[in-house]
Amino acid sequence: MKMAKEDTLHIKFNYNEAIQAKRDLLSSQVALLRIAKTIKDYKSDRSYESEIKISLNRRLKDLKVLFGRLQKALPQPEIPSILKRDEVKTTESAPQRKTNYNATVEDQLKEIEERLHKLQKKS
């Protein structure tokens, strides 16, 4: 196939415009090179970070295993039966109160007054 004949177009720059265009082109190249360097540094930092995280994860797993071994090696303390019963009683006797953080001030005042009345009736 024959290529179509293309007409050549010439643009005339004066000297100052040509110098400014070259400066702009060179400054753009410098900016692109700096961006490329920053991207390369970022990639290397990310790979270093992932290596550190993997190393830390391994060390934490090893530490967990060592703590497990230490726990098995140490003697288990014997808690007297009296203390065991007291622990059960304290956990059962503690009433669970629901606190409504979204309630208005008036609702909270009513709730507090009701609790005060209940305490006065008990004593």
CA distance 89 to 81: 13
Per the model's pLDDT, the better-predicted residue between 89 and 13 turns out to be 13
What pLDDT, on a 0 to 100 scale, did the predictor assign at position 81? Answer: 77
Give the residue, 22 or 89, on which the prediction is more confident: 22
Q: Read off the pLDDT of residues 30-60 as tens digits, 9 standing for 90 and up.
A: 999 999 999 999 999 999 999 999 999 999 9
Kindly report the average pLDDT of the chain as a whole number.
83
* Nearest-10 Cα torsion for 59, 64, 69, 75: 140
